[in-house]
Every structure is written in structure tokens, then in C-alpha cells.
Amino acid sequence: MSTNRTSAAPLVGLACLALVLYAASERSLSPVHAEAYKKKLEAVRLMQDGEAAVLSAKRRKGVSIDRKNDPEGYGVIGPQFTLITTDRGSQTAKSLAAHPNFAAAVTQMMLLAGVERGDLVAVGMTGSLPGLNLAVLSACKVIGADPLVITSVGSSMFGANDPELTWLDMESALVDRAILPYRSLAASLGGGGDVGRGLSPAGRQLILDAIARNGVKLLEVDNALEAVKQRMTLYDAAAASRGRRIRLYVNVGGGVASLGGAPNARLIPAGLSRRLTERNYPNRGVLNVFAERGVPVLHLLEVEKLARELGITDASPGTVRPGQGLLFIKYTYNLWIVGASALLVLLANTLVLRLDIRKRMLRWSRSERIAHS
């Protein structure tokens, strides 16, 4: 056996020590509450209360509840076709968007954007994703932010597309039950060009009736470009009257005035963007205008993608229970144990290396003496 090789015993000892210390470090992994744990739980409970209020309003109005399309009984899932249905929509996405954990997710993203109590948050909503609308308002309530909401009333399939229970009617139900105090500053018809294009005259009239009965200001525009300008004027006027700057813009759904059009919806990343990547956007929506001003933007549209990224769905694939999952609990190592383990491994390696060098030097010295004798 070569005398230049380290003996097996120290190497085996180092390996065993490393394995023991690795096991100790792994056992130190433990669950702890995620940031803003209490706020997130409060937002979830608030969203659940809101959905219960909408469900109750549906029953009072005699609006049918389709348990096939709304198996969880959220209450915010509408029918497939009505006179105010503006576009196709996924029942799966609409049902997933109504998961109460989205309120916690929006709370987390708002806090990451730096939103604090008393801050103004501009919000552009449609009737297409009432679950996410409710999640945004719930997050604003628990943070203490002041939302400035403008709504496009029309809705795609399975959203707030029942003429008797539009999103504006849902807002009123939430206010009447003292769950959320927010009402839209103004509302448009939605649909093509934000002017109800693609709807029948009867469908457009039903939306006008909903706006009138809820006492919301009607945005009367001729095209999407004018809709963007009017919305910015309203947001700026509301912010000026309150003497505060808008800290965040939130888009919910695929409203043309908010996004600037369907191509933009695919170019804008889902979730929070502190600075929007410069691209050749075909048209500029309200979201683009705020981003150009340096205001962070929160884009809530790709529901299934967001749910996966935020831990609302798991690998099953299925949804986690409200108030549970990685939004609420994170796993961390005990840094004292991990640090001590790393130090011990380093010291042990250093000791073995020094002993090996010393042993080599002694062998070399002995060999030199023998060679000269």
C-alpha cells in the first residue's frame, strides 16, 4: 500500500461525522408562521364572510345556485350564458379564483409592494373574476389601505354574469352586511372596447340598469382609448382630493381599459411587478400608465398559474384548505444547529488534514535520513 495515501480510518470517521451532523441539521427543520400570518388569516376569514353574504343575497333574490358549476358553494360563480356574458371563460378558473386563500395571497403581494395603512390602491375590476375582486378588497381591509375601484360590469362565463347579481350588486350586499365598506367610484359596460360591443341591446340595458340601481357613476365613453383617459382622470382626482399618492395599481381580469387589450394580457407577467418590463405593447392601458409613473402593478388574471406559484393548489393536483399551506406556514432550519454542524465538519477536516500533513512530513524526514546514511 502506498505511504502517500491517507489511511482509511480518518476518512471513514469524517464521513460518519458529516452524516450525523447532516441528520441533525435536517431534524432541525421546523414549521413557523409566515410573514403577516395574522393578517393573512384575517383576510381569509373576511373573504369567507363575503362569499357567504353573496350566497345569502343570491337566495334572497331567488337566483339559482348551480352546484355542478359551484360545488364549493362559494356563491360568486355565475351561469354559463346570460345576456351580459361578454366572452368565454373557464369554470375551473372561476371556481379556483374564489378560494379564500387568494385573499391571503393578495395581502402578501400588497405588503411586498410596500402598501401600508392609509395608502391609496387603485383597482381596475371586471365582473369576470368576482372571487379575486373579493380577495383584493379583503386584503385592503386587513392592511387598512383605501381602494379606489373602477369596475367593468360585463363578465365572461361563470363570473358575475347574472343580470340580477352583477359585481356591483355583490358590492352592495357586502356593504349592507357591513363586511366591506367599499363601493366602485364608477363603472363601465365592459366587453368590446369597454362599451359593451358584442352584447345585445338588451344586454347593454341590463348592465345600465345594474349601474343605476347601485347608484354608481356611469363612465360614458366611445372607445377604449377614451376609457383609459377617463379612468386615469378619476383616479388622479380621487387621489388629489384625499391628498395622497396612489401606491399600487391592481388589475383583476382582462378588462380592455385596464390592460390595453388581449395581447397586453399575455405580455404582462402575472402577480406583482415593481417595475414593468419595457415591451412593444400594442396599446397602453391604465396598468401601463401607472407602471410608466413608477407605481408597482399587481396583475391578477392567470388564475391557475398564480394558484400553483402561491401554494393554493398542490401537487395532488388539488386545493389546500383555507388558512393552510405555504402562504401561512414556512419551514426553516435552526441556524444555530446548521452553523455549528458546518463548523464541526470544517474543524474535523482541518484537523485530519493537519495530522496527515504532519505524518507525511515525518515520513519524508525519515526517508531523507535513510537515504543519507
**Range list of β-strands (E), the chain:** 30-33, 120-126, 146-152, 186-188, 217-218, 246-252, 271-273, 297-300, 329-332
AA letter at 56: S
Phi, psi (deg, nearest 5) at residue 276: -75, 130
Phi, psi (deg, nearest 5) at residue 125: -120, 160
Q: Kindly report the number of other CB atoms within 10 A of residue 346's CB atom.
A: 10
pLDDT number for residue 9: 73
What does the pLDDT average to over 46-63?
93
AA letter at 110: M
Inter-residue contact 103 to 139 (CB < 8 Å): yes
Q: Which residues pair with 32 in a beta bridge?
A: 330
Q: Which long-range contacts (CB under 8 A, 24 or more apart) does 222-227 make?
A: 222/195, 223/193, 223/194, 223/195, 224/193, 224/194, 224/256, 224/257, 224/260, 224/261, 224/283, 225/283, 227/188, 227/193, 227/194, 227/195, 227/256, 227/257
User: What is the longest distance spanned by two Cα atoms in the chain?
Assistant: 114
Residues 6+ apart with CB under 8 A from 55: 65, 73, 74, 75
Structure-block grid coordinates of residue 354: 493537519
- How many residues appear in the chain? 373
Query: What pTM, to 2 d.p., does this model score?
Result: 0.81
Number of Cα atoms under 13 Å in the Cβ half of residue 372:
6
- Quick check: 121 pLDDT over 70? yes
Residue whose entry in the numeric block shows the C-alpha cell 372596447: 193
Domain ranges of the chain: 8-29+335-372, 37-329
pLDDT number for residue 371: 59
Inter-residue contact 291 to 278 (CB < 8 Å): no
- Quick check: 103 pLDDT over 60? yes
pLDDT number for residue 2: 46
- Residue scoring higher pLDDT (259 or 7): 259
The whole-chain average pLDDT of the chain stands at 87
- Quick check: 317 pLDDT over 80? no
pLDDT number for residue 318: 64
What does the pLDDT average to over 137-161?
96
DSSP annotation of 321: P
- Quick check: 340 pLDDT over 90? no
Question: Is the CA virtual torsion 334, 335, 338, 339 positive or negative?
Answer: negative
Distance CA 54, CA 127 (A): 14
Percent of the chain with pLDDT over 90: 59
pLDDT number for residue 1: 42
- Give, for 137, the enclosing helix (H) or strand (E): helix 130-143
For residues 83, 88, 93 and 99, what is the CA-based torsion angle, rounded to 10 degrees? -10
- Residue scoring higher pLDDT (21 or 153): 153
- Rg of the chain over CA atoms, in angstroms? 29
pLDDT number for residue 32: 53
CA nearest neighbour of 127 among 184, 72, 190: 190
Tens digits of per-residue pLDDT, 75-99?
899 999 999 999 998 999 999 999 9
- Quick check: 281 pLDDT over 90? no
- Residue scoring higher pLDDT (352 or 101): 101
Cis peptide before 201 (omega within 30 of 0): no
What does the pLDDT average to over 11-23?
77
Cα-based distances in Å from 149 to 141, 210, 280 = 13, 16, 28
pLDDT number for residue 3: 46
- Quick check: 30 pLDDT over 70? no
What does the pLDDT average to over 275-301?
87
pLDDT number for residue 66: 83
Inter-residue contact 327 to 311 (CB < 8 Å): yes
For the ranges 14-18, 66-70, 329-333, the maximum mean pLDDT occurs at 66-70
What does the pLDDT average to over 64-78?
87
Inter-residue contact 248 to 274 (CB < 8 Å): no
- Quick check: 55 pLDDT over 70? yes
For the ranges 114-118, 310-314, 322-326, 342-346, the maximum mean pLDDT occurs at 114-118
